[in-house]
Amino acid sequence: MAKLRYAEALNAALREEMQRDPNVFLFGEDIARYGGVFKVTRGLMEEFGESRVRDTPISEQTLAAMAVTAAMTGTRPVLEIMYADFMPLVLDALINQASIYEYIWADQVQMPFVLRTQGGGGAGAGAQHSKSLDVLIAHIPGIKVVAPVTPADAKGMLKAAIRDQQPVVFLEHKLLYNLRDEVPDDEDFIVEIGKARTVVEGTDISIFATSRMVLESQKAAELLAADGIKAEVIDLRSLRPLDLNAIKASIAKTHHAVVVNEGWRFCGYAAELSATIMDHAFDDLDAPVQRVTLPDLPVPYSEPLEMAVLPNAAKIADAARKALA
C-alpha cells in the first residue's frame, strides 16, 4: 500500500496497464509533453515514447472516431477528452458506432477502449468547464460509465476499464485529483465495474451518491448523526451498469432513500435512479425518494453563486429529514 493522490493513482494504473499490454496506448489534448491538464499522464511519454502517448489537435469528434477505429483493429486506446463539457461533440461516435458495433456484427467485433474526461463544479471554472453530463452517456446502451471517488477505486477501476472488452467512459471530478489515500500497489488490483460500495453503514435512510457527491453525503451523514439519524451512504461507483442488488438491499434495511447527483434535475441521472428505485424497491419504501441535484441553471463563475447552486452536505441532510418526516 502507498499513499497516493487521485491523479497519481490514475497515472499508476495507466503505467501498469501499458507495461502489461503493448496494445494499450494513450492519446488526447496535451497529454504527452505537458502531461495532461491535471498531470495524470505526467512522465508516460518519456517512459513509453511518442508512439504510445500522443498529443492531438483539439477535435473531439475526430478523436472519438479514431478511438473507435483503433479499438476495432485490436488495440486498446485510452482517449482523454479535456473537460466533460465537450462530451456532446463525441456523441456520434459513441451512439452510432461504439455502442452498436458488437451488436450489429454479432459479437465478431469488440470495442475495448476507454474515454477519460473531467467534469464537475466547485473549481470556479465557469459555465463551460463545470458541467456534469454523466446522464448523456449513461443513457446509451452498450457504454459502461464509471465515476470513482477514492484514489484506490480510481486505480482499480481504470485498470478494469482498460481490460474490459466494451467501451468505458471514465468520469473524473476535477476536485478529486488532489485527494490522497491508501492505494494498493499490487499490479493485479482491480475494482469490478458494476459493484457499489457501502461507505457508511446505517439503518434509518439510504443515501445513494455519485462521484464527489459521495464525500458530501458522508458529511451529511455526520450532520444527521448529530440528530440521532443513522444514514447509510452508498457510493454507486458505476453509473452503468448499476448495482441493483446493493440498492435494493440498502432500501430493504432503511425503507427511505435520497439520491444525489451533481447533474441537472430535469431528466437527470438522479431522476433515472429514483425511477429505478421505484421500479425495483417500491414495496420497501415508506416515503417518496428525495433528489438532491444541481438546479436547471448554468454553473455560475462567481464563487458565492457557484457554492449556492451546487449540492452540498446541508442540502443532502435536509432532503433526508424530509424523507423521514
Averaged pLDDT of the chain: 97
Alpha-carbon distance 78 to 125, whole Å? Answer: 25
Domain 197-324: which topology?
Rossmann fold (3.40.50)
pLDDT band at residue 108 under the 50/70/90 scheme: confident
Catalytic one of 29, 129, 216, 306: 129
Q: Which three cell numbers stand for residue 299?
A: 454553473
Contact 59, 104 (CB under 8 A): no
Alpha-carbon distance 77 to 183, whole Å? Answer: 24
| 107, pLDDT greater than 90 | no
Catalytic residue list contains 255:
no
| 278, pLDDT greater than 90 | yes
Structure confidence at residue 1 (pLDDT) = 84
Q: What is the pLDDT of residues 115-130, one digit of tens each?
A: 999 999 999 998 999 9
Q: What is the pLDDT of residues 227-248, one digit of tens each?
A: 999 999 999 999 999 999 999 9
DSSP alpha helix (H) spans, 130-212 = 134-138, 151-163
Structure confidence at residue 301 (pLDDT) = 93
Catalytic one of 8, 60, 272, 306: 60
pTM of the shown model: 0.96
Which of 135, 18, 129, 147 is closest to 78 using CA atoms? 18
Structure confidence at residue 12 (pLDDT) = 98
| Domain boundaries, given as residue ranges, for the chain | 2-183, 197-324
Q: What is the pLDDT of residues 202-218, one digit of tens each?
A: 999 999 999 999 999 99
Which of 293, 310, 314 is closest to 224 using CA atoms? 314
Average pLDDT over residues 4-13: 98
Q: Which amino acid is at 240?
A: R
Alpha-carbon distance 80 to 40, whole Å? Answer: 10
Distances (CA, A) of 70 to 42, 78, 112, 123, 185: 23, 10, 9, 34, 29
pLDDT band at residue 283 under the 50/70/90 scheme: very high
| 11, pLDDT greater than 90 | yes
CATH topology identical between 2-183 and 197-324: yes
Distances (CA, A) of 282 to 91, 123, 198, 321: 33, 38, 21, 19
Catalytic residue list contains 173:
no
Contact 264, 294 (CB under 8 A): yes
Average pLDDT over residues 152-178: 98
Length of the chain: 325
pLDDT band at residue 303 under the 50/70/90 scheme: very high
The CATH number that domain 2-183 falls under is: 3.40.50.970
Q: What is the pLDDT of residues 42-99, one digit of tens each?
A: 999 999 999 999 999 999 999 999 999 999 999 999 999 999 999 999 999 999 999 9
Buried b (16+ CB within 10 A) or exposed e, 66-76: bbbebbbeebb
Buried b (16+ CB within 10 A) or exposed e, 7-46: bbbbbbbbbbbbeeeebbbbbbbebbeebbbbbbbeebbe
